[in-house]
């Protein structure tokens, strides 16, 4: 793919810094992490060794050591060739060091048991010896990657996030209008199927959803009720951007166990960049534990690939299209406002409701999405009475146009 995401330049810049750090790229499956790594390798021009741990059975920790040794051998080979080509000519130490560098790319690193300890050992040795290996780690499980980084690799890495594709990216790469992006979502690999919607639905369901559930959730976690987790995912796709109590979920799921089990499974689906259960906003904290979650899917493709409705049917159904637009707003917030500094929630008091509440430090913004879906009572007045220092965004209709909102990274609207 000729299209290049901004994260490629950020990683290249990080790899070239004088003080080396592990470069880590995390994000959902099928959003172009591997393609970005290939583009980084071409841009930087070093010898590259790439290996993937994405296998049905986990690789042992020794797999990482083997890949590291293979990368070192490429560095030595490149250094020898460089020396032969420039025999008889004086070379500066800096030029010599650059000529011998090699890029090691390890994909789906979180699938190797104890990966962070092994990487730490080899990386520390590399830094102490002034070695040639520079490392780019890729991962599709936010929980497992972050856990390994914080437990063993503190101070040794720089984290890059590779979210689902935004509308400007899909517009530039595929010439999509806003309505097409809202419906088909931001999976670049599925873009070639959008003119054959049944094929698109099969591709997303089989190659994306099933792969993530089977390999990134069920294979990597101890799931007591795997069928329940799958049913919970399918239930969430039927209620995008809707507040659904755990008791109501229990009533619609077989062998559902209890609310603690459902809440735990919902958090696991969030770590795989599938679904988030936003919690009720209350003063002093962005999330109120135990509240009914508002289900937001991180990509609208997840909603429509499991539905029997077509694009034309959804677009002509004001209620359904309104939910899809509201979910797209929530997904845009979640994909961009990642990290401990940001929090995304919702607010409701009786019939009064605010679609999204964004918190950043001591600042709070309330957001309402006007997309033609009726039957709701605006909660802006009630929310302002409780939180008079909050700021407010109205999206759609008479407020900020949706095209403008989706055209910029979400954080730019909260600065």
**DSSP one-letter string for 286-337:** EEETTSPPEEEESSHHHHHTT-S--HHHHHH-HHHHHHHHHHHHHHHHHHHS
List the domain boundaries for the chain. 6-80+97-161, 168-414
Contact call for residues 26 and 271 (beta carbons, < 8 A): no
Phi, then psi, of 111 in degrees rounded to 5: -80, -10
Q: Which fold has domain 6-80+97-161?
A: Rossmann fold (3.40.50)
Name residue, tokens 């735990």.
264
Torsion, CA 210, CA 216, CA 220, CA 221, rounded to 10: -70
Q: What is the mean pLDDT of the chain?
A: 88
Q: Which pair of structure tokens corresponds to residue 55? A: 């296998």
Q: What are phi and psi of 189, to 5 degrees?
A: -65, -25
Q: Read off the pTM.
A: 0.88
What 3-state DSSP class applies to 186?
A: coil
- Hunting for tokens 């089990």 — which residue is that? 261
Q: Measuring CA to CA, how many Å separate 189 from each of 54, 171, 184, 185, 383?
A: 18, 15, 12, 11, 41
- Closest by Cα among 202, 157, 185, 218 to 22: 157
DSSP string for residues in 3-59: ---HHHHHHHHHHTSSS--EEEEE--TTSSHHHHHHHHHHHH-S-EEEEE--SSSPP
CB atoms within 10 A of CB 112: 22
The per-residue pLDDT for 89 is 47
Count the Cβ atoms, other than its own, within 10 Å of residue 336. 20
- CB hemisphere CA count around 149 (13 angstroms): 22
| 24 strand-pairing partners | 137, 159
**pLDDT computed for residue 204 by the predictor:** 96
Q: Find residue 288's DSSP bridge partners.
A: 280
pLDDT of residue 99: 47
Q: What is the DSSP letter of 192?
A: G
Q: Write down the pLDDT at residue 94.
A: 43
pLDDT tens digits for 230-259? 999 999 999 999 999 998 898 888 776 788
pLDDT at 144: 67
DSSP string for 209-250: IHHIIIIIIITTS--S-HHHHHHHHHHHHHSTTEE--HHHHH
Surface-to-core class of residue 88, CB atoms within 10 Å of its CB (0-12 exposed, 13-18 middle, 19+ buried): exposed
pLDDT in tens, the chain (415 residues): 578 999 999 999 999 998 999 999 999 989 999 999 999 999 999 999 999 998 888 899 999 999 999 999 988 776 545 445 444 444 444 444 444 799 999 999 988 998 999 999 999 999 999 999 999 999 987 766 777 777 788 889 999 999 999 999 999 999 999 999 999 998 999 999 999 999 999 999 999 999 899 888 887 677 888 889 999 999 999 999 999 999 889 888 877 678 888 999 999 999 889 999 999 998 755 445 568 999 999 999 999 999 999 999 999 999 999 999 999 999 999 999 988 899 999 999 988 999 999 999 889 999 999 876 555 657 889 999 999 999 999 998 889 999 999 999 999 999 8
């Amino acid at each position: 793919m000729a299209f290049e995401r901004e994260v490629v330049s950020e990683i290249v810049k990080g790899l070239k810094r004088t003080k080396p750090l592990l470069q880590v790229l995390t994000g959902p499956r099928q959003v172009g992490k591997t393609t970005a790594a290939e583009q980084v390798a071409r841009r930087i021009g070093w010898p590259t060794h790439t290996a993937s741990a994405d296998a049905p059975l986990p690789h042992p920790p020794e797999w990482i050591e083997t890949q590291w040794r293979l990368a070192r051998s490429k560095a030595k080979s490149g250094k020898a060739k460089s020396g032969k080509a420039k025999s008889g000519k004086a070379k500066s130490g800096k030029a010599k060091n650059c000529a011998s560098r090699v890029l090691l790319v390890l994909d789906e690193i979180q699938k190797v048991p104890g990966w962070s300890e092994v990487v730490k050992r080899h990386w520390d040795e590399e830094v102490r010896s002034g070695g040639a290996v520079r490392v780019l780690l890729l991962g599709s499980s936010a929980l497992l990657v972050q856990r390994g980084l914080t437990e063993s690799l503190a101070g040794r890495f720089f984290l890059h996030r590779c979210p689902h594709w935004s509308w400007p990216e899909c517009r530039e790469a595929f010439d999509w209008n806003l309505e097409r992006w809202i419906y088909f979502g931001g999976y670049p690999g599925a873009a070639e199927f959008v003119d054959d919607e049944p094929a698109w639905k099969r591709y997303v369901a089989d190659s994306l959803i099933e792969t993530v559930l089977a390999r990134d959730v069920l294979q990597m976690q101890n799931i007591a009720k795997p069928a329940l987790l799958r049913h919970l995912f399918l239930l969430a796709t039927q209620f995008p951007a809707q507040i659904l109590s755990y008791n109501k979920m229990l009533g619609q799921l077989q062998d559902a166990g209890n609310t603690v089990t459902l809440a735990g499974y919902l958090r696991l689906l969030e770590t795989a960049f599938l679904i988030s259960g936003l919690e009720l906003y209350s003063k002093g904290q962005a999330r109120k534990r135990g509240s009914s979650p508002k289900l937001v899917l991180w990509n609208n493709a997840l909603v429509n690939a499991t539905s029997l409705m077509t694009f034309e049917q959804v677009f002509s159904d004001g209620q359904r299209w309104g939910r899809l637009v509201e979910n797209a707003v929530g997904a845009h917030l979640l994909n961009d406002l990642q990290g401990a500094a940001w929090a995304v929630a919702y607010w409701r008091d009786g019939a009064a409701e605010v679609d999204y509440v964004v918190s950043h430090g001591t600042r709070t913004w309330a957001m309402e999405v006007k997309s033609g879906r009726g039957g709701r009572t605006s909660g802006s007045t009630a929310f302002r009475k409780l939180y008079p220092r909050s700021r407010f965004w109205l999206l759609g209709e008479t407020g900020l146009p949706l095209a403008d909102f989706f055209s910029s990274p979400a954080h730019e609207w909260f600065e």
